[in-house]
Amino acid sequence: MPYCYYTCNLLPLGLIARAGYTPRWLGSRLVDANAPARREALSIHPMTCPYVTKLVAAADALFAGSAGGEAEERRSGPPSEASCDRGGAAGAAGAAGAAGAAEAAGAAEAAASSTQTRDLTGALRGDLGGSSDDCLVVPGGCDAARRMGDLLAATYPELVFVLSMPRSAGPEAVKTLAADLRRLEDRLLTRGAMTPAHDPKPGLAPGTAPSVDYPAVPRPGGVFVVAGPLTDDSLLRLIGRLGAHVSGLESCTSPDRWRPLATLDYAAPPAPGQTADAAVAAGAAGRDHGDLAAKMLETGMCPRRSTTQRRAHLGRRLDESRPASIIYARQSFCDPGAYDALLMAQLARERGLPFLEIEVDFPFEANGPLLTRVEAFLEAQLLDDDLLDRLDDRLDDGLDDGLDDDLGDTALS
């Protein structure tokens, strides 16, 4: 099956799989930052968040055909786990979608054989008839993401679909999103994809979604981490290495977010075995995109969403996680993140929790100054905890002594 890459996991992956594509997060296909840039590579303004910058480069490399690894991958089947990018998300079964690794490998081989005889650049740029053609969906939640979609759609018009994402979740917003989802599905189907597959949980196949997970079970009394997209759990591991533990992660790539999103699907799928043409002809009948849109907006409570709703969501998550401190890992040049960090700082103040905001790159990298800041922040807390424990012990001792005295007095009387 061809890949349908996507930039943000606020997307019903089931819908993509049913249209005959293997969904795949573009964040797992990043270009090596040290590799020499192509002369004609797309350039974007440096005052753009690293996530968007890196994804534009990744999409450009894929679609311009200069991604040697991708071309190579098509010739030799899906990459092994070991050959994946730093996130490890582009796993071998990235093409799995429905039917497990064996079928996925078969589908990828079929795709590879049809691609071998053609120039990849030409295939991706113009010839849209083949089922091996990949495409990209860009959910345009924030201005930067929307403009990323604009740029890629202008450069690769037939390959990129920009999906507008509303801030609110009101009935009209849901209606508009439902219509856009329907358009997306129709477009994917009419692009000549294969017969829709029928895997109930395609999003959970390795490589299809961001693969960040908690390195250890989160528990109260630790650090609550808020972050933008992450390729892996290195930020969480860093906290563990520094002697603290994690109470929760709030990120668009956190397991609490991507798992429910990855399994989203509409209620009434097309009949099994239905061809692409038939599915298109069926139109909207039986496809409840409204319900899907509502669920997407309910689950995807990210920083670009309504501040009021986001505040309630964050408050709820803090109450559930019961952390001892909060670290906000914000990407530079991220507007929603900037205002969200203010909101989180306020929530931290209200709860008397220490708060640290750090500026991070994408993918996350624990460089020297950042490491020092996190270390100092956590050390201060551990010190505080230690002091508090000792104070508690002393108070307890004092209280016990007093109690003994009181009891003694009572006994004497």
Partner 1 sequence: MPGMADVTGDSFSASLIRGAFLAQTRWKAMKSRTARRYMELHALSASLELFKPGAVVPWVSYLFPTELLASYGITPMIPEIGAATLTGTDLRGPVESAADRMPLARDVCSYHRIALAAVENDMLPAPTMCLGTTPLCLGKECLLEMLALRYDAPFREIRVPLPPDEVEASSEVVADVAEQMRVLHEDIGRWTGRKPDLKKAIGLSNRASAAWGRVMAERLAGRLEMNGRRTFATVFLGQLLWGTEEGARDFERLLTERGRSDLLAPALDEGRRLKRLLWLHTVPHHDSEIFEMMERRGAVVIFEEMGQMHLETVDPDDPFPGLARRLTDNVLWGSSTRRARLNVALAKRLKVDGAVHFNHWGCRHGLGSLPVVRSAFVEAGIPFLAIDGDALGRGGAQQEKSRQAMESFLELL
Chain contacts with partner 1 (rule: CB under 8 A): 42-45, 47-48, 142-144, 146-148, 150-151, 153-154, 162, 164, 166-168, 170, 172-173, 176, 304, 306-308, 311, 330, 332-343, 345, 357, 359
We find the least distance from the C-beta atom of residue 180 to partner 1, in angstroms, to be: 9
| Residue closer to partner 1 (CB basis): 141 or 207 | 141
| Structural element, H or E, at residue 358 | strand 355-360
| Residue closer to partner 1 (CB basis): 112 or 148 | 148
- Give the integer Cα–Cα distance in Å for 197 and 19: 7
We find the least distance from the C-beta atom of residue 212 to partner 1, in angstroms, to be: 23
**Residue 179: C-alpha distances to residues 162, 176, 315 (Å):** 13, 5, 32
We find the least distance from the C-beta atom of residue 225 to partner 1, in angstroms, to be: 18
Question: How many H helices and E strands in the chain?
Answer: 14, 8
- Give the integer Cα–Cα distance in Å for 268 and 323: 41
Measured at the CA of 58, the angle between CA 55 and CA 60, to 5 degrees, comes to 105
**The two structure tokens encoding residue 121:** 């650049």
| Residue closer to partner 1 (CB basis): 214 or 339 | 339
- Give the integer Cα–Cα distance in Å for 278 and 401: 83
We find the least distance from the C-beta atom of residue 147 to partner 1, in angstroms, to be: 2
Quote the crossing angle between the two packed helices 100-116 and 68-76, to the nearest 10°: 110
| Residue closer to partner 1 (CB basis): 121 or 164 | 164
We find the least distance from the C-beta atom of residue 309 to partner 1, in angstroms, to be: 10
- Signed CA dihedral, 369, 29, 95, 78: sign only: negative
| Residue closer to partner 1 (CB basis): 33 or 154 | 154
We find the least distance from the C-beta atom of residue 69 to partner 1, in angstroms, to be: 25
| Residue closer to partner 1 (CB basis): 109 or 361 | 361
